[in-house]
Amino acid sequence: MVIVQTIEALEEAKNALTGSIGFVPTMGALHKGHLALIQQAKQENDHLIVSIFVNPTQFLEGEDLDAYPRKEEADIKICKLAGVDILFMPTIDVMYEEDELCIGAPAVRGYILEGEKRPGHFDGMLQVVMKLLNLSGATNAYFGKKDAQQLALITQMVKNYFMDVNIIPCNIVRDDNGLALSSRNVYLEGEEKTRALCISRSLKRATNMIIAGERNTEVIKKEMLSVLEDADQVEYIAIVDREFNAVDNVEIGNTIILVAAWVGKPRLIDNLWI
């Protein structure tokens, strides 16, 4: 594995590759969720590039940019063991210049749910993903369904800008207790770890209701809210179709149920694809 920090070094390392390139962009503090993406990319491509970059433009004022978990040494080991060919770890200066032109999230789908609660977040995310996709020269790029709205917007960006890369959605990886893995889970302290389980439990409850025949999204959301009592604050419960339009009734095969809630220090998101 080669570790590169500059565009020139990345280009040079890529010159040695022939065949398809799988690419997994991350912000580091790697866990089994990231690893699943990395392993799938490894399996489906001739070569594998992973990036680790904590992207400042997708953090809002007052968010956890400075405190965001950084575990470079462990991340490098994980990537080596996983058979990564190129690990790209750029600095901010390498990725950005002053007075850049910006990619904007779409006015409707980019400003609901996460986009409403974190206005500007998706602009920064799309900007860096555009850069990373272009730099990687990826044939296939892997993104987790854990960040469902992010995945939908990246898919739309690739379509709208006629970019030549396949976006591959990957399933959510969970702890044995149901908690969706996230780099931010390290912020959970003591009993918060137990309380955080109400998020996946609420999604499980929704599934059970749907299996039992319930389709009305208001009824399902009300029940989910009662399960979410253990959270400190529920930011949203949403039931949307795969295009992120709110729906009155669950349609099997075309529905995503999403939750965002605060438990202790972290704001956690999770979802379920029906």
Write out the catalytic residue numbers.
Answer: 34
**Gap between the Cα atoms of 122 and 112, Å rounded:** 11
Nearer Cβ to ligand AMP (145/217):
145
Residue from 10, 13, 37, 261 in contact with ligand AMP (CB under 6 A): 37
> What are the Cα distances from residue 218, in Å, to 5, 113, 117, 222, 223?
49, 17, 21, 6, 9
Residue from 156, 183, 185, 255 in contact with ligand AMP (CB under 6 A): 183
Q: Does 113 bind ligand AMP (CB under 6 A)?
A: no
Q: How far is the CB of 33 from ligand AMP (least distance, A)?
A: 3
Token pair of 105 as six digits: 């999230």
Residue showing the smallest CB distance to ligand AMP in the complex: 144
Q: Does 144 bind ligand AMP (CB under 6 A)?
A: yes
Token pair of 191 as six digits: 């009993």
**Gap between the Cα atoms of 136 and 87, Å rounded:** 11
Residue from 44, 147, 214, 223 in contact with ligand AMP (CB under 6 A): 147
Q: Does 180 bind ligand AMP (CB under 6 A)?
A: yes
3-class secondary-structure state, position 67: coil
**Gap between the Cα atoms of 167 and 152, Å rounded:** 10
Residues at the interface with ligand AMP (CB under 6 A): 26-27, 33-34, 36-37, 143-144, 146-147, 170, 172-173, 180-183
